[in-house]
């Protein structure tokens, strides 16, 4: 099995604003999600060029099941079509694709496609693309804690992080988030990667996700690289 490399920062993105963008343009919410998919495709390819090592996209939260059934059904169909369409592109770009979150509530056809695409792209070593579907950070932490309790052992942070990755169907070692970016003007985490974002830099963008461009991504990464990350140290300690 090819070793996972994935050098570079971990960028996490809350892709917010598809529906509001569509409404503002007189379109259906489904059209907004279609536009959001096109943006996601462009950003994934740009992230590879920018040297991002891990890119985690928040596509569908566990709370999103509460949305109108017709919208949920359309999203599930879009996810499956996107996976089938992007698998070859990921393979060509050396991108390994992992789907995070619960799978028992996904349509069987989507679960089967997830397994196919993950197996097909498992040799990718240039970037790890993780897409969160039916995902809740709090539920994932709870599942990992329950697994720890069932084993009757106490674990340190690294061991617990590994159990958390396993709970989310990620077979690779966990990575803390370096930069979390959210579009759409909202300023909250919305139950996304709460454990992994303990020391993440946060960047909130007013643009709706379909409006977000590769130039915006470059600016966000430049902003991140200009920040002084101290991880609890005093400024003079970092400077030295």
Catalytic residue positions, numbered:
16, 64
Q: What is the DSSP annotation of 202-224?
A: EEE-SS-GGG--HHHHHHHHHHH
Q: Tell me the C-alpha distance between 205 and 187, whole Å.
A: 9
Q: Tell me the C-alpha distance between 149 and 141, whole Å.
A: 12
Do β-strands 179-182 and 127-135 pair in parallel, antiparallel, or remain unpaired?
Answer: unpaired
Q: How far is CA 145 from CA 165, 166, 233, in A?
A: 12, 12, 29
Classify 234 as helix, strand or coil: coil
């Amino acid at each position: 099995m090819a070793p996972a490399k994935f050098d570079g920062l971990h960028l996490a993105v809350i892709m917010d604003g598809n529906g509001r963008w569509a409404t503002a343009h007189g379109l259906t919410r489904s059209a907004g999600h279609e536009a959001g998919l096109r943006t996601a495709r462009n950003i994934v390819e740009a992230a590879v060029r920018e040297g991002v090592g891990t890119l985690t996209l928040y596509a569908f939260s566990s709370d999103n099941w509460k949305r109108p059934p017709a919208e949920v059904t359309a999203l599930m169909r879009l996810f499956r079509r996107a996976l089938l369409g992007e698998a070859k592109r990921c393979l060509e770009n050396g991108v390994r694709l992992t789907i995070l979150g619960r799978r028992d509530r996904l349509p069987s056809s989507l679960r089967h496609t997830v397994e196919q695409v993950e197996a097909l792209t498992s040799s990718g070593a240039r970037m790890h693309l993780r897409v969160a579907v039916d995902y809740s950070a709090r539920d994932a932490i709870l599942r990992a804690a329950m697994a720890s309790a069932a084993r009757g052992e106490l674990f340190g942070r690294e061991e617990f992080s590994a159990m958390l990755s396993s709970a989310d169907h990620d077979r690779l070692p966990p990575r803390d988030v370096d930069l979390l970016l959210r579009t759409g003007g909202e300023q909250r985490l919305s139950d996304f990667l709460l454990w992994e974002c303990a020391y993440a830099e946060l960047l909130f963008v007013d643009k709706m996700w379909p409006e977000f461009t590769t130039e915006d991504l470059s600016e966000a990464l430049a902003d991140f690289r200009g920040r002084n990350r101290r991880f609890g140290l005093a400024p003079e300690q970092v400077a030295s």
